[in-house]
Structures are given as C-alpha cells and as structure tokens.
Amino acid sequence: MDDLRDKYIQLIADAGDEAALEGLRVQAVGKKGEISLQMRGLGKMTPEERQVMGPKLNALKDEINSALAARKAALGDAALEERLRGEWLDVTLPARDRRQGTIHPISQTREEVTAIFAELGFSVAEGPQIDSDWYNFDALNIPGHHPARAEMDTFYMHRAAGDNRPPHVLRTHTSPVQIRTMEKEGAPIRIIAPGRVYRADYDQTHTPMFHQVEGLAIDRDISMAQLKWTLEEFLRSFFEVEAVELRFRASHFPFTEPSAEVDIRCSWEGGQLKVGEGDDWLEILGSGMVHPNVLKAGGTDPNVWQGFAFGIGIDRIAMLKYGIPDLRAFFDSDLRWLRHYGFAALEQPNLHGGLSR
C-alpha cells in the first residue's frame, strides 16, 4: 500500500496539465481504479483484516484525492499566471490614432451640394422614402398605364391579401418631394431635396439604392434660361474647374415640359474617371420646366406660377469628382475603401473655404 501511495503521489506531482491529472484520477480512484479495486477486495477479507485494511485504504483514497485537488489548483494558478503574463496590456499607452471614422463620400458630396445651393438661395426639403404611388407617379403626371412606371423598375411594398388599394412604393426618385413641398409651403418655392431613392437595377453604375437631389424653383417668371444658368453655376462650383462642359439634350419626362437631360464631358481612361476632358459623356441629371399638371396636383395655379425642376444623381457626381470607378463600392462598407475615399470629420464643406479641402 505504501508503494501504491508513493507511486501516485509522484505521478500527481509530475502531472503537467489538467488532462493528465484527470487520467491519474481515473487510474487510481476511478470506478475501476487501482485503489478502488483494492477496496472491493475488502469483502473477501476476514473481519480482522478488514478492520486494519479498511481505514488504511480509506485514508489512502483521501490522501490521493486531496493530492489531486491540490495539484489541480496549482495548475490552475499557473495557467492564470501564464495568461496574465501573455495578455498584459499597458492601459496608460496613448490611444491609437486612425480610430476616428471618416465622412462617407456620399455624405460629403451631399453637404457640398447643399452648401452650393444654399448660396443660391435654396433651402433643404425632405420627404419619405416609402411613399404612395400617388406622390411617386400620379401627381407627377405619370398615370397608371404609363410606361415610365415599368421603366423605373419600381419596388412595391406588400399589401395584405384582399386589400385592393394600390401598394406603396420605395420612391424611385426624389420628385415626389416637389408635390409635398408645394402642398406644404405654396409658391414661391426654392428648394433642393437630397435623399435616398430605389430601383431594381445592379451593375457598375447602378445600385438598387442610390441618391438623388431634387431641385425645384417656382415663381411668376421662372424660365428655362434660369434653369440652365443655375445648373451650369452649380456644376462649375461643384467640380471646382472652370472647364466643365455640359450638353443639354432634349428629352422627355412626364413631369416637365420641355425637358432636358444634361451630360457632362469626361474621360474613362484606364478605369480613371476625369471631368472636363476626353470624348465621353456621362448623364448626370434630368431637368425641365414643371408640367402644368404637376403644379395643379400640388395645388399651385399654373396660370400664375411656373417653375423649373431637376434631379441630379448624387452618387454619379461623387464618382466623377472623386474618381471612384465602381458605384457598388460605395455601399460595401469596406473599411479600407472608407479610409481611402472618406473625408476627415468636422470639416464642413463651404464655398469660402473651398468645398473639398
């Protein structure tokens, strides 16, 4: 019994980890362990032998159990020590820089656009991203059967079975804000309405969610010439180059008459997009004189008031200005991309400081 005791005390002292210790526990005092088997042998002994051996075996078992527990505690302490050494951290070190986020190029662009139009006397209006089909289509002179509805790749909201009202839509453009502003403010009006819009489309220059800024100016004597001047002035300021070259293309929108789309001269060389040079044209906005039916829908008398409206793709002009070749990257939330293209926080764009320092 002394040999048994010496053997296990030594093995326990040498055990390097908890798994080895558990192996020894099973081997010594587990159900079929060496000491347990000896204890089972007590039954075959004479009462006298049993009286001597019983307490001795019990004492041995207790000794082994407490040796196991002591060793286990020691191993635990050592492991904790080891971890504390390894995971040591100096909390007095200065914070890492570059922990601050950056302003997303879309937010930056939106602020720049707002700053420029603010100087021209336009204030900011807003509308909901989920809108009724009346605001998104009908009020804008796009009746139910009109092909423009299909062309816009509209996302429709769900209606409960049996509810036959027309479904709400994710707005396909910011133009419904024209109607809402007319209803709310009445003429004269001079607003821009930046925000998110949605269409089911996806490639290098299209994403299902993108951004537009609507412009609306209504007064008694607003003309197409003023629309043209306003857009030229805006684009020159925005791109911070005198050489911005625009192409006004006769076009059609149900909510403007006449209508013009505006393309900007650019080059795409080597995947790099540059404004003001090259032989390519990129469409960046739609515009025109507000259709009398739209004025009427907004409660504005077309015999007294007239106006111009435009819708600019914010993401498009951000790509152009900052040389970002793929629109989809805007919405990937890739930190490396955001650090590369993002802007320092707290630097508000304004015209007197230079828009994009």
Footprint on this chain of ligand PHE (rule: CB under 6 A): 173, 175, 253, 256, 286-288, 309-311
Instruction: For the CB of residue 247, give the shortest distance to ligand PHE in the complex, in Å.
Output: 16
Say if CB 218 and CB 307 are below 8 A apart: yes
Instruction: For the CB of residue 121, give the shortest distance to ligand PHE in the complex, in Å.
Output: 19
By beta-carbon proximity to ligand PHE, the closer residue of 68 and 284 is 284
The CA distances from residue 136 to 127, 172, 207, in Å, are 11, 7, 19
By beta-carbon proximity to ligand PHE, the closer residue of 108 and 178 is 178
By beta-carbon proximity to ligand PHE, the closer residue of 64 and 116 is 116
By beta-carbon proximity to ligand PHE, the closer residue of 207 and 256 is 256
Instruction: For the CB of residue 271, give the shortest distance to ligand PHE in the complex, in Å.
Output: 26
Which residue carries 């009346």 as its tokens?
Answer: 134
By beta-carbon proximity to ligand PHE, the closer residue of 72 and 228 is 228
DSSP for 36-94, please give it: HHHHHGGGGS-HHHHHHHHHHHHHHHHHHHHHHHHHHHHHHHHHHHHHHHHT---TTSP
By beta-carbon proximity to ligand PHE, the closer residue of 5 and 206 is 206
- Select from 6, 237, 268 the least CA-distant residue to 122: 237
Instruction: For the CB of residue 233, give the shortest distance to ligand PHE in the complex, in Å.
Output: 18
Instruction: For the CB of residue 330, give the shortest distance to ligand PHE in the complex, in Å.
Output: 18
* CB contact set of 60 (below 8 Å; sequence gap of 6+): 1, 4, 5, 35
Instruction: For the CB of residue 286, give the shortest distance to ligand PHE in the complex, in Å.
Output: 3
Structure-token pair, residue 287: 């515009």
Say what the alpha-carbon torsion angle 62, 67, 73, 74 is, to the nearest 10 degrees: 170
Q: Which residue is nearest to ligand PHE (CB)?
A: 311
Say if CB 126 and CB 193 are below 8 A apart: yes
Instruction: For the CB of residue 104, give the shortest distance to ligand PHE in the complex, in Å.
Output: 22
Range 263-298 burial, b when 16+ CB lie within 10 A, else e: bbbbeeeeeebebeeeeeebebbbbbbbbbbbbebb
In a 13 Å sphere around the CA of 125, the CA atoms on its Cβ side amount to 24
By beta-carbon proximity to ligand PHE, the closer residue of 211 and 265 is 211
